[in-house]
Amino acid sequence: MGLSKSISAENLCELLKNISLYFNNVYLVIDALDECGDVRSNIVRLLAELNASQDSNIKILLTSRPETDIEFHLVGFEKVSIAAHKDDLELYVHLEIARHVRDERLSIGDQKLREEITQLLLNEAQGMFRWERILDRINLSSDDTKELVRRVLVWTVCSVTPLSLAQLLETVSINFSDKKLDRDGISNETKRCSSLVRKTEGRSGTRIELAHFSVKEFLLLKVQDDRYVKYRVSQSYQNAYIAKTCLTYLLFEDFRDIIPYTTETEKDAMHGRYAFYDYAATNFALHACGHSDDEDLSKLLRILFDPVKSNNFVSWAQVILDELEDNASTKKVIASASTLHFAILMSLHRVTEWLISDTCFQSRLNKSDSIGTLLACALAPEETLCCITYAKCSLHSHITEKERILDLILPPDTLVAQLSIDKWVECPGDPLKLAIKANFGWEKLLQRGALVTDSCIEALEGHDNFSFVETFINKIQPKNMPAHVNPRFLKLAEKLKYADRPLPDTFLGSIADIDSVGETIALQTAVTFGQTHAVLKILKKGIADINPCSKTDGLNALHRASKEGNLEVAKILLNHSASLDSPTSADTIDTSKHDYSLNAQPHFI
């Protein structure tokens, strides 16, 4: 039985992981990763996931030229740069000439001639002689021409996708001080670069690309103080420059002073007039990754994501939501969502930090609208925007930035059990299930007291990545397990045979070390789920303070027990000196309503 012709890369990776279980170690070597074609970004992502867990027995060695989309998925991988140095080249040339002479494929009796041939080969290989001659000619031009060439080379080397001629002409004309697109300043002097770049025709029109792969290698050489230093490209440095150029463009007065489009005709007219807009809107966040300390970049981001929602922001959001089924849906999402939602979706950590400095942030954490709660946006941008088939913002999910954002919106004292996600998301009301499906953030949720629910077990039972299920099971602590879920969870764990130790001894009849979450937080969590045994055990320690109110909804433990109708738990709390007169910390909550069920029980106490 052979493989189906339609088998996906995802299925092949899963097959590779399953096969690897039969070996102690598997070594995977892949050469020329940059030559994988249009699907290489997805391939790199899948390869990185093979080595994602610390206990993985799959070891990977990848070779590639330094491409932005490849490096984006390999942030955590050790990087070793290999360059051709003069000594290496000289040794190689001497050995090759000697081998050709020995094999009688080359006849050189004159030692002087042999040295001349060797030197010629070394000079041509070492200096990339052709590109040097071209840049020597350009260096004789005006400063404006040299700067134009530099910008063309930077964008051609570092852009995420090849730019069209119209896009390139717009972007190389932009200066950071510009307030609007100066069409008179757009130069068509790209002929100055004609030997370094070339035009290619395709279905999407005329694109600009490097004339030869060796041009990129020459430009990326780390050579100090040579006469071509102005044209050398550092992708890390240039990505910050490109991000700032994109944001400068998006903030032009051209888009501040126009009314956002409402019809397809208006949209086509705008994109036809502003060729670079789509690239700037969909790729600035990718270029900005790793440059959160750049103050100029942060300033531009704060202007775009200002809570007032300028026309510049609305125009940008329309492009991000371009896959929505109609303009009415797009307008509804933009109207109801805050700029904070979009900053989280785009994995912009510094912008998120700036926006949540607003004192009202915690009260908005659970607020659901047409784009989702803030927690849903942080855990799973793709699932949050489930009505979009291919949401453009999902291209920019950056794991390090996502983790920082989750830490911002879920500080250590957050009571996760009180948080929910959207009613229309595939995992209604259950952040942990959403985190399981997205394979992100679930460990932080568990650390903050999240409880495994039946829907979480369903997600684990249906998960096709057994390695993930194994990791999840071994991270669970009894504090995360309500009593009614334990049997089903243990059945799943024992069925998979993935536990490090006997699970019944670990999970049954015990409570986790709740000090790691905080006694008061653990008490509120136990009250929420009516866990009388856990409540008694926590109170017996005498550490937890019964009366403080949660920062999330303003309720204390007694309010919560009364609200949920857990009268047995409420009785336990009162017997441990909980105060009936303790007010809530939220002005909008009437304490008497939450204690109503207690007041209605004349023989309760």
Q: What percent of the chain has pLDDT over 90?
A: 14
- For residue 208, the surrounding DSSP H or E stretch is strand 205-210
Least confident of 57-66, 211-220, 247-256, 383-392: 383-392
Q: Which two tokens stand for residue 384?
A: 């949050």
CA 243 to the chain's CA centroid: 16
Buried b (16+ CB within 10 A) or exposed e, 143-164: eebbebbbbbbbbbbbbbebbb
Of 122 and 441, the structure prediction assigns the larger pLDDT to: 441
pLDDT classification of 179: cutoffs 50, 70, 90: very high
Instruction: Check residue 170 and give its pLDDT.
Output: 93
In the predicted structure, residue 67 carries a pLDDT above the cut 80: no
Work out the widest C-alpha separation in the chain, in whole angstroms: 115
pLDDT digits (tens, 9 = 90+) for 69-96: 788 788 778 888 765 555 666 776 777 7
pLDDT classification of 505: cutoffs 50, 70, 90: very low
pLDDT digits (tens, 9 = 90+) for 419-444: 666 544 454 568 888 888 888 899 99
Please give the mean pLDDT across all residues of the chain: 77
Query: What integer is the mean pLDDT of 51-66?
Result: 82
Instruction: Give me the domains of the chain, ranges plus CATH numbers.
Output: 9-73 (no CATH), 86-127 (no CATH), 134-231 (1.10.10), 234-409 (no CATH), 514-599 (1.25.40.20)
In angstroms, the CA 331 to CA 325 distance is 11
Q: Which DSSP symbol is given to 358?
A: S
In the predicted structure, residue 496 carries a pLDDT above the cut 60: yes
CA 227 to the chain's CA centroid: 38
Of 42 and 598, the structure prediction assigns the larger pLDDT to: 42
- For residue 207, the surrounding DSSP H or E stretch is strand 205-210
Of 99 and 369, the structure prediction assigns the larger pLDDT to: 99
pLDDT classification of 318: cutoffs 50, 70, 90: confident
- 3-state secondary structure labels for all residues of 19-75: HHCCCCCEEEEECCHHHCHHHHHHHHHHHHHHCCCCCCCEEEEECCCCCHHHHHHCC
In the predicted structure, residue 158 carries a pLDDT above the cut 60: yes
Beta bridge partners of 198: 209
Instruction: Check residue 383 and give its pLDDT.
Output: 67
In angstroms, the CA 374 to CA 425 distance is 13
pLDDT digits (tens, 9 = 90+) for 200-246: 877 777 788 888 777 888 888 877 667 888 888 887 788 999 999 99
pLDDT classification of 518: cutoffs 50, 70, 90: low
DSSP line for 147-182:
HHHHHHHHHHHH-SSPPBHHHHHHHTT--TT-SS--
Instruction: Check residue 125 and give its pLDDT.
Output: 57
Burial of 487 (0-12, 13-18, 19+ CB in 10 A): exposed
pTM metric for this prediction: 0.64
In angstroms, the CA 600 to CA 53 distance is 54
Q: What share of the chain is helix, strand, coil (3-state, %, to 5)?
A: 55, 5, 40
pLDDT digits (tens, 9 = 90+) for 358-376: 656 666 666 666 677 888 8
In angstroms, the CA 452 to CA 475 distance is 12
pLDDT classification of 129: cutoffs 50, 70, 90: low
Query: What integer is the mean pLDDT of 191-205?
Result: 76
pLDDT digits (tens, 9 = 90+) for 443-486: 999 988 888 888 888 888 888 777 888 888 878 887 788 877 77
Closest CA to 476 of 509, 454, 439, 503: 503
